[in-house]
Amino acid sequence: MSKIGFYPGEILLPNCPLETWSVVACDQYTSQPEYWRKVEELVDGKPSAAELIFPEAFLEKVDFNEKIAQINESMRDYLQRGLFASYPDSMIYVERTLHNGMVRRGLLGLLDLEEYDYRQGSASLVRATEGTVLARIPARVRIRENAPLEMPHILVLIDDAEQTVIEPVAAQKASCQKLYDFDLMMDGGHVSGWRVDRGLYAVVADALSALADPAAFAARYQTPDAPVLLYAVGDGNHSLASAKECWENIKEFLSPAERETHPARYALVELNNLHDPSLRFEAIHRAAFVPDGDGLVAEFEQYAASRQGNEPPQTVYLLTREGERAVTIAHPERTLAVGSVQEFLDDYLDKWPGRVDYIHGEEVVRELVQKGAVGFLLPAMGKQDLFKTVICEGALPRKTFSMGEACDKRYYLECRKIR
């Protein structure tokens, strides 16, 4: 059997109303703190995952160390109160009804961090699909390093055109124990989950092993010398990278035997099939907050006109309070428009003050433009060539695509002990 790196484990579910327990990923609505204040109102006084996360909308607005201490104390309190039911040696089959009515099917389990390398040029079984911003990792490591629990918002992709891994589990869900079935808050849709035991996991393991077979992999992508890429991180790469760093810090003090079983070696993630019809790649737009918006616009137009590359033309929509217009980069040097825009913004912010936020949804960009931002609307990337591109070219520019809109991101629900 080929190495597969994805396993059952002990999963915890809270014994409390899940409608107020489950909240969206902490890296969403980063320029909309009013969203998170509404969440605080909804969960006030109730056990909630909101007490166990650090929304990025507040990262620079509250005392960092105090907030981390509160998170860890809340985790310990929930554990001491016996809030969680334990499901040992399990996976969870998940169905998430999205805002458009489509159902995303996933499989929750433990990903082996020994098989993951987020660095550019990685040849590991698990790889980042987009560039990792190293500056974002230390703060997340600080949040995780002393936490007794983890909660996943990480979505990991497999390229399973024949639907051999997750779909057979879906076909047998009626014979599985249903664990939850409820509506998510704040327009998050609906989620249901069924326990997958060891017997059904054997089907999953065999299918993953077949996908990871080196000969089959080489034939699938026409890459005879490339190392196997079985899992591509779709959402939550910085959280997974932080888990990896925490594990690297821990394992140097462990014996070889301890390294095999230590809970921090694994991260709880949801596996999705790239070919699931519900899975659509959405563009991640840019909103630049700078003192001189007119200067930024003028420099971008100069940048667009000055490129001398050989890639096909790229069109970006530039938004200001005065309106929006198309700007075409006739001879781009980057393969994707997002790469061209990110290159420009990185260079601009090296010279001038300001910041960039990464936005899901055109309407949110337009709202921020009315508050003074300069918006860049970008085209969406097609999902069909994702694996081949990562195999041949490495990670894409950071924040290239999003798997759905903000309200469709994974909500925190299941937990796992990592200490």
CA distance 115 to 107: 18
**How confident is the model at residue 1, as a pLDDT?**
41
Beta strand extents in 27-102 (DSSP E only): 84-97
**How confident is the model at residue 2, as a pLDDT?**
58
Q: Hunting for tokens 């599985």 — which residue is that?
A: 176
**How confident is the model at residue 136, as a pLDDT?**
79
- Complete DSSP assignment for 285-305: EEEEE-S-HHHHHHHHHHHHH
Strand pairing category for 314-320 and 23-24: unpaired
Please, what sign has the CA dihedral across residues 408, 409, 410, 412?
negative
**How confident is the model at residue 296, as a pLDDT?**
97
- The pLDDT tens digits along the chain (419 residues) read 458 999 999 999 999 999 999 999 999 999 899 999 999 999 999 999 999 999 999 988 899 999 999 999 999 999 999 999 999 999 999 999 999 999 999 999 999 999 999 988 899 999 999 888 778 799 899 999 999 999 989 999 999 999 999 999 999 999 999 999 999 999 999 999 999 988 899 999 999 999 999 999 999 999 998 999 999 999 999 999 999 999 999 999 999 999 999 999 999 999 999 999 999 888 999 999 999 999 999 999 999 999 999 889 999 999 999 999 999 999 999 888 998 999 999 999 999 999 999 998 899 999 999 999 999 999 988 888 899 889 988 888 878 888 888 899 999 999 999 99
* pTM score, whole prediction: 0.86
* Type of residue at 374: V
